[in-house]
Structure formats: C-alpha cells, structure tokens
Structure 1
C-alpha cells in the first residue's frame, strides 16, 4: 500500500501539506522505517544544549518539538488502531498547543527522546504491519473528518518530514 493509492475522501485536506512531503511510491512500512532513520540521524546532530533553543519568541524549543512528534505518533497510532477495530467511530481532535506546555519536555535528555521516538515509531510500524488490507481502508471520523486507518500512517510520516524540514530551516540543524 502506497501513499499514491490514498483517495481524497480518506483524510482532511489540511493533511495534504504533510502527504506532499513524502514519496508517494513507497510502501507504508518502508516509508515509516526510512522516515524514522532520517529523523534519528537528525537527532544525532543535536547537542544537549540545543534542546532549549527556540528560534523566536513564542516558538517551541527543540525539546518541545521532539516531544510533540512523539505525542503525535502515539495519538495517530491510537486513532489508527481504533479505526481498524471500530469503523465509523467518531474520535475527537486534540490541541497540540495545549499538550506542549504540559509535557515537561525541558526536563528530558536527548538520549531519552531518541529512545522513546524509536520505540514509538517501531511500535507503529508493527501496528500497521499487523493490519489486513481491509483494516487499513476502514474509516471513521477524526476531528469531524472522514479518515482512514492507512491515511493516518502516511500522514504521520509526512508530519515528521515537515518537522525535519523546520529543524533545518528554522533551528539550523543540518
């Protein structure tokens, strides 16, 4: 299953911005694995003292962005599991801006972030591999929009890619 096989009725158009960042011809499992490796290579370029850096007033610190990525991975995996098991369900949205200040990201180490991201992403890869083709195309509603299980996996990879690009552009982590 590749991203190019997604139909526009499987996700909110807002997520096109993330889906456009990923290669459309890679199988979901390969995409998530390669995307994980790319993000871990970026984390290897970060120094512990960089974790508190924010490029502008009111913008998230490096640590907060990393925690945000981990949180979104978990939430999208939960949503995928729920849609696969209970098609038609209505799931609420979440306010990522409210999650960040409550995360205590500033108290974390780079090593702990790397370990957790790897564990969470590996769990997601296993989750998506466990789904049948039928489960992957099951839909429910997320934040009021029809969403398929498989779309969430591709969006997750695109979301990570989006933040990799922001790290390079705004945080000067190359």
Structure 2
C-alpha cells in the first residue's frame, strides 16, 4: 500500500503534506526505514545538544524527540481503534500540553532512543497485523474521519517533517 492508494476522504486535509512528504513508498517499508534513519540521525547528535532550542520559546531537541514519540503513540492508538472497527469518536490532543509533562530534560539520548525504538517496533507490528479490510476502516479523531492506513502514512510523514526540522534548525 502506497500514499496514492489513499482517498482524500480518508484523512483531514491538515495531514496532506505529511502524507505527500514520504513519497510513493510502501507503508511497512517506510516504517522500518524511518526507524533506522531516525536512530542514525539522533545517535550521531552529541548528548549536550538535547538541551538546545533554536529560538526563544521553542522546544529543546529532547522535547522535540518526546513529541515525536508521543504523537506516534497517539496516532498508533487511533489506527488500532479504527482497524478494530471502533466507531467511538476520539478526542484530539494538544501537543503543547504534553511537553511540560514529559520530563524530556531529565532523559538521556540512550533512553529516548530506546523508547522511540519500542514505540516504532510496536507500530510496525500493529500495521503488519492489519489485513486490507482493517487498513481501510475509518474512524473519527479530532472531528475528522480517518482510515487506519492513512494513520500509518501520517506517522511516517510526521516523523519526516520533524527530522527535516532537526536537520535545518537543531544541527
């Protein structure tokens, strides 16, 4: 399954650029490759850089890494609910409310990378477990209809978006 298989009705237009940013790739392949690229990039950043914010009021690198992890968990949970045909509307989440509570400043790079790897591996296993019917199932999150398969590409695109920001503004 590739992004071109998605219909525009399967996701909120807000996520369109995230989905496009991954290119025409197979979802499971991109989840695996993205895990490797993320680990390589972050592993090569000096630990001291975790406390760096590129501007006043912006997240530190450690906070940004926690945001990527938290968002993947939320998106993964949505995909699980949709894939299991749960029609209960899901509330949105405010990313800015999560950061002060995540204790990113007290975390080591090793710890953050281990948590990321566990979350991504869980995401990969979830999407491997979905058959075509489950992937096409639609639920509602933040007031928008979304398919399980769209959530997978949103996970990939969200990470790609933030890796670009890391390269441009944090390194």
Both structures adopt the same fold (TM-score exceeding 0.5):
yes
Aligned to 1:8: 8
Aligned length: 171
- What CA RMSD, in Å, does the superposition of the two structures yield over aligned residues? 0.9
Match of 1:51 in 2: 50
Q: Contact 2:82 / 2:138 at 8 angstroms: preserved in 1?
A: yes
User: Does the CA contact (< 8 Å) of 1:135 and 1:149 recur in 2?
Assistant: yes
Is 1:111 matched with 2:105?
Answer: no
* 8 Å CA contact retained: 1:83, 1:89: no
Match of 1:102 in 2: 101
TM-score, normalization by structure 2: 0.97
TM-score by length of 1: 0.96
Hey, what's the Cα distance between the residues in 2 that align with 1:42 and 1:4?
Answer: 28
Measured against aligned partners, the alpha-carbon deviations of 1:14-51 in whole angstroms (never above 9, x if no partner) come to 00121121022x22110111111111111122111100
The gaps in structure 1 that reach 5 residues or longer are none
Given that 2:3 and 2:20 are in contact with CA atoms closer than 8 Å, whether structure 1 keeps it comes out as no
- Cα deviation, 1:104-147, whole Å, max 9, x if unaligned, reads 10000000011111111011001000011100000011100010
Q: How many angstroms apart in 1 are the aligned matches of 2:50 and 2:73?
A: 21
